[in-house]
Every structure is written in structure tokens, then in C-alpha cells.
Chain A
Amino acid sequence: MTGAESLSWWAAVPIALLLVLGGLVTVIGALGLVRLQDFYQRIHGPAIAITLGAGCILLASMLYFTLSQSRLVIHEVLISLFVLMTAPVVAMLIMRAGVYRDLRNRSERAGTGDTSAPD
């Protein structure tokens, strides 16, 4: 951990807190992926890992490099912007794939060609 010696307490404590919080939130998200019942519930689990978990760790990384090198290092903003723009697209497409496949299975079982909206 080179460069960390120069950090003071008021800088190190928030970074440590953000890292631990980010890790915990990521675990909760993945736990949701395992614990919840069906696919439509499970898709909500990773969303918290992607927003809050990734946000906390990216913020910790930004704070750490900015304070330990004493210059502005904010290129992690790019990753967070990219993740915020792509994660919704991925979620929507996986959800659509799930709905489509469920409807197709249901209509194959019923023997009809009905693929309109669920419920």
C-alpha cells in the first residue's frame, strides 16, 4: 500500500467505510440472486449491487487516488457513467428475454400461438 502512509485519519476512515459498505451491498445483491424464488424476483437482486455497491467502491477508489497522489484523479467517473448507462439496457433486455421465453413455453404447452403481453 504505497502512498497510503501520507493519508490522514479523516481521509482513511471514509475510504475504509465506503469499501466495506460497497462490499456488503454487493454481497446482499448476490444473496438476492440466490435466495429469491423465481426469475422475475431475482432480476431485482443484482440491481442494488450495480448501483449502490459499484457506486461506493468507485467513490472509494476516486477518493483514495485523489488524496494519496494529491492531484485530481476522477477517471472512475467514466466507469460509473458507463455502468449507469448500460445496466438498464441489460436489465431490460434480459427481462424481455425472460418474458418472451415464458410466454413461448406457456403457449407451446397450451397449444396456441398466443404471444401477447403477460397476465
Chain B
Amino acid sequence: MTTVALLSAAVFVAMACVVLAMLLCTVRLLLGPTAQDRVLALDTLWMCVMLLSLVLGIRDASQIYFEAALMIALVGFVSTMAMAKFLLRGEVIE
């Protein structure tokens, strides 16, 4: 077993785990009895997508995925804030 094989296996395990986490989040997103549960699940889903793009960056040895991950983190934060604010006030901008 070489280092390349070891790293490929580790990347595969990490990707499988993150995808499984995304599926669990989707379950909560669809089930979620209340609106705040759905927002929480969606926020976790954004985080998992960010982690997935980092792992893909390691698999392809490419720096492009870093920018994608940064953008996903930024957009995820803003959208979750907007949704939580909407739940709190009934409007996004006061």
C-alpha cells in the first residue's frame, strides 16, 4: 500500500461521511416539525457542502476548491442570517 492509496482511501471515507451527513440533514430538513428546525438543517447542509468542496480539493490537488469553499461559507452565513431574521421578525430588512 502506497501513500497515494492511503490518501485516496481516506478521501473516499471522508467524502462518504460528509455525504451521509448531508443526507441526515436532508431528512431533518424534510421532517423538521418547526421552521427553526429546517433553518438549522439548512445551515448544517451549507457547512457540509463547504467541507465536501474542501475534500474534493484534496482529491484533485487543486486550489480552486478553496475559493469555492470560501464563497459557500460566505453565502451560507448570509442566507441563514436572513432566514433566522425572517423567523424572528417576519421581515428581513426593518
A and B: direct contact (Cβ < 8 Å)?
A: yes
Give A residues with C-beta under 8 Å from B.
Answer: 1-5, 7-9, 11-13, 15-17, 19-20, 22-24, 26-27, 29-31, 33-34, 39, 42-43, 45-46, 49-50, 53-54, 57-58, 60-61, 64-65, 68, 73, 75-76, 78-79, 82-83, 86, 89-90, 93-94, 96-98, 100-101
Interface size on B (CB < 8 Å)? 53
Q: List 17 A-B contacts (CB under 8 A).
A: A15-B58, A16-B9, A19-B14, A26-B21, A30-B22, A30-B24, A30-B48, A34-B27, A39-B36, A42-B28, A57-B14, A76-B66, A79-B70, A82-B70, A89-B77, A94-B36, A94-B39
**Interface bits B47-71 vs A (CB < 8 Å: 1, else 0):** 1101100110111010100100110
Interface residues of B, dominant DSSP = helix
Per the 8 Å Cβ criterion, residues 8-38 of B in contact with A are 8-11, 13-18, 20-22, 24-25, 27-28, 34-37
Give the docked Cα–Cα distance between A64 and B11 (Å): 12
